[in-house]
A and B are shown apart, each in its own frame.
Chain A
Amino acid sequence: MRYQIERTGRIQFAAPAREHHVQLRLAPWDDDSQTLLRVEVTVAPEVGIAAVRDGFGNLVHHFAVLGAHHELAFRMRAEVETRLTNPFDFQPVPLARERAWIADALHQAPRLWDFVLHQGPLTPDLPAQLRDQPVPQRREDRALFDQIQELSAWVRTLTPFDPELDKPVCALPALFDLGRGCAADLAHLLIAVVRQWGVPARFVTGYLDASYFEPDDEDPPGTEPRPQRSHFWVEVLIPGAGWRGVDPALGLLADATYVRVAIGRDARDVLPLRQACRGVGVAPTLEETLSVIPDTA
């Protein structure tokens, strides 16, 4: 699939900011599963923008506005081609070889250890039971990929996805207090379990095809499409396949309708916007828009 993506943001200050440093992780990845054909980031007021790859390989745009300003607007436009039409399209590894396959991957690329070992407030060490339900254990008699999909369903049952939930990602105890979660919350829970299985799992931010935001059969006729927004899911290292995207929020496997933007250990590694301001007493406000349009040409 080919997509035209536009993401905008407007940061506003109650009192003028004099020194404002911004780092954006908005541009899609460029790798085997998707090609970044074009990317452009603009800022008003106009300043020099630099692009680098961070320690995880994510494309990061950064800039600084040094004069006094009340408002800063940014726009990222990209064209991307995604290719993973069928997530099942790979040569599976025999069951008995799966553990060895993962051990070998870790041996070849020690950087993967981050996605096995990392625990933090968002992806903590889990107790044996969550909400009176035993946390699923990895079994030796079933393919890992199948078990991961079941686990994703378990996460969604344990904590229903609420697409309207507009709140920052939260640590797990708070998530259970609320009884439902946003996509990032469900992703973190899935990651926490997969890591306990000794399997590399990483947090992904990205964009979805516009069709996911269209009204469905249950909506009353004439319902407007919901506003598009970023999405969050998980990638698990699957023997024989490599990284495969698993989306506990929507109960799907990521395919060509998922556009990957940034990967990290958890949401804190991949914040779309990081900023630092000097001399500003009140935190700035942020308004964002997103549009992901399939390129039919």
Chain B
Amino acid sequence: MLRQVLSSGGGLTSIQASARTMPYHEFYRDDFRPRDHYLPMWEHIQTTGQQILGHKARDAHLTLHTEGVTFTVYSENDEGIERVWPFDILPRIITAAEWTPIEAGLKQRIRALNLFLKDLYHGQRILKDGVVPPELIYRGKDFRREIMDITPPHDIYTHISGVDLIRDEAGRYLVLEDNLRTPSGVSYMIENRIVERRILPEFFARYRVRRVEHYPALLLQALRHLSPRGAEQANIVVLTPGIYNSAYFEHTFLAKEMGVELAEGRDLVCRNDKVYLKTTKGLRQVDVIYRRVDDDYLDPLVFRSDSELGVAGIINAWRAGHVALANAPGSGIADDKAVFAYVPDIIRYYLGETPILASVPTYQMTDHQDRQYVLDNMEQMVIKAVAESGGYGMLMGPSSTTAQRAEFARKIEANPRNYIAQPVIQLSRHICYLDGELESRHLDLRPFIIYGNEIEVVPGGLTRVAMTKGSLIVNSSQGGGSKDTWVLAD
């Protein structure tokens, strides 16, 4: 059965009906005039002349280049290409009225997903009550039975989350997917803002834009909160897989901004259930690890034994309560794309509340009817591997070839639990300044949520833009671009 996950109004039929209409435009109204909140910016562009944007765009590219803001794109033959972070200078603007329900909806979602994780790794009440099928969890690639009954500090699993939002044809925000493992992109959100402020101060003079640059301070505060020896003594490190990771720039950026050490697995060592940083002055105990190494590679004694990126014994130290890991191992099961369909039920189950944010409808390939429907209508579907991210392992139905569809049909039949499908939603569009012209491109939004003493949603996020005309693929790893995202104070 297709899980009907739209929380309020309309439902699936309206999405399917509206799929025939035009995508929502963030900037233009239906009469092709700018929306009210874009008028001050638009008037400024009209006054100064559009050609000035060309200079600004070059300045922005140069700034990002000299600052070394890069992203590594891996091609099929695994050769990494380091690119300057692609950035469009025209900001995306979100009004305070639009933001309020997004913020409330994200807080609600993250609170519920953390309760879900705690329950899955302890009493499993939600499985016993039949709200989420146990098979779904126990077939999930990211369910870590190795950490059963471990209680992380303050019962928090996802200290840092990124939730991808899109807008449907009616302009309604929908959750597309959750990223609860090691979501990346936050450094780019900040760099985008720094560049934008430098390049276009005149835009900022016309708006009251809420700050995002304090994200590292918020993160540091949240990480300190986790410290088993108390926030005052907290010794924090960022654990990176190293320079070959596509988000290495972000790891160095966050360590630098927080003023903490950037460490690789070989820089840390466990002894007597404590984790130490090897320094020139001897071993220094580490209290909190913001780890950007995947679960599989985190501890060769517990997960993959061939991992050289992790720290042997780190799970035992975490279990003993001597070190905090952010995010907690095992969090990935809650952002499994097949579990996604159950998030509205999860919210209702733990919080007794109606979900504030609607989600994109999701077809389960384990369900015979759903599967047949998807296989019959592959051209209208986005098909995703449940434990992949970054746009990998995905089929965009409308732009796929017959051979690609046949290949995915085979994969789905071979392992239905590994795939879900969603109807293609025409992502909203926004104007971008590309090669001297104003062009409309599709985009999404990844706001970041920090769970420390309380849950905070950073007002803004990473707006990712599909740089190719008509494309719906916005992932940075697939060559997508970005925009600064402004949330207005009033």
| Chain A residues with a Cβ under 8 A of chain B | 19, 21, 23, 48, 50, 52-56, 62, 64, 66, 106-108, 110-111, 113-114, 117-118, 274-276, 278
Contacts and interface: CB of A to CB of B under 8 A. Distances in A.
B301 to A, nearest CB: 5
A197 B336 CA distance: 27
Contacts of A106: 134
28 contacts: A21-B270, A21-B300, A48-B272, A50-B273, A50-B316, A50-B320, A52-B320, A55-B146, A55-B147, A55-B148, A56-B145, A56-B148, A62-B301, A62-B313, A64-B269, A64-B270, A64-B271, A66-B271, A110-B127, A110-B137, A110-B138, A111-B145, A113-B135, A114-B138, A117-B135, A117-B139, A276-B300, A276-B312
B465 to A, nearest CB: 41
Interface string B121-147: 000100110000011011100001111
Interface in B80-131: 124, 127-128
The 10 A-B residue pairs with the shortest CB-CB distance, nearest first, are A21-B312, A276-B312, A55-B148, A110-B127, A113-B138, A110-B134, A276-B300, A55-B146, A48-B272, A55-B145
A275 B306 CA distance: 11
A155 B59 CA distance: 72
A55 B149 contact: yes
Contact of A111 (B124, B135, B144): B124
Q: Which of A50, A55, A111, A275 has the largest number of chain B CB atoms within 10 A?
A: A55
A118 B271 CA distance: 33
- Most A CB contacts (10 A, CB to CB) among B144, B147, B270 go to B270
A62 B316 contact: yes
B305 interface: yes
Given A52-B319, A117-B138, A274-B305, A108 B312 contact: no
A274 B312 CA distance: 10
A54 B313 CA distance: 13
Contacts of A276: 300-301, 305, 312
B127 A52 contact: no
A278 B312 CA distance: 10
Contacts of A50: 272-273, 316, 320
A53 B315 CA distance: 12
Contacts of B313: 21, 62, 64
A42 B435 CA distance: 71
B225 to A, nearest CB: 25
A186 to B, nearest CB: 24
Contacts of B149: 53, 55
Interface size class of B (residues with CB under 8 A): 20 to 34
B256 interface: no
A54 B128 CA distance: 22
Given A52-B319, A110-B127, A113-B135, A274 B272 contact: no
B346 to A, nearest CB: 15
B266 interface: yes
B266 A111 contact: no
Interface in B277-306: 300-301, 305
Contacts of B128: 107-108, 110
Nearest to A66: B271
Contact of A278 (B135, B266, B272): B266
Contacts of B127: 110
Contacts of B300: 21, 274, 276
User: Which of B128, B137, B138 has the largest count of A CB atoms less than 10 A from its CB?
Assistant: B138
Interface string B242-284: 0000000000000000000000001001111100000000000
Contact of B146 (A54, A62, A108): A54
Given A108-B128, A114-B138, 16 more contacts: A21-B313, A52-B320, A55-B145, A62-B301, A62-B313, A64-B272, A64-B313, A66-B271, A110-B124, A111-B124, A114-B145, A117-B135, A118-B138, A274-B305, A276-B305, A276-B312
A113 B137 CA distance: 9
Counting chain A CB atoms within 10 Å of each CB, the highest count among B128, B137, B313 belongs to B313
A193 to B, nearest CB: 19
Contacts of A53: 149
Given A110-B128, A276-B300, A19 B269 contact: yes
A113 to B, nearest CB: 4
Nearest to B269: A19
A104 to B, nearest CB: 11
Nearest to B307: A276
A52 B146 CA distance: 12
Contacts of A19: 269, 312
B293 to A, nearest CB: 15
A113 B134 contact: yes
Interface in B144-174: 144-149
Contacts of B139: 117
A107 B124 CA distance: 10
A54 B271 CA distance: 18
Nearest to B144: A55
Contacts of A55: 144-149
A54 B320 CA distance: 12
A224 B266 CA distance: 48
Contacts of B266: 278
Contacts of A114: 138, 145
B415 to A, nearest CB: 10
A199 to B, nearest CB: 15
Contacts of B316: 50, 52, 62
Nearest to B139: A117
Interface in B370-397: none
Contacts of B319: 52
A238 to B, nearest CB: 21
A254 B56 CA distance: 77
Given A113-B134, A117-B139, A274 B301 contact: yes
B301 A23 contact: yes
A21 B301 contact: yes
A266 to B, nearest CB: 12
Which residue, A50, A53, A108, has most C-beta atoms of chain B within 10 A?
A: A50
Nearest to B305: A274
Nearest to A271: B305
A50 to B, nearest CB: 5
Contacts of A275: 301
Given A23-B301, A50-B320, A64 B138 contact: no
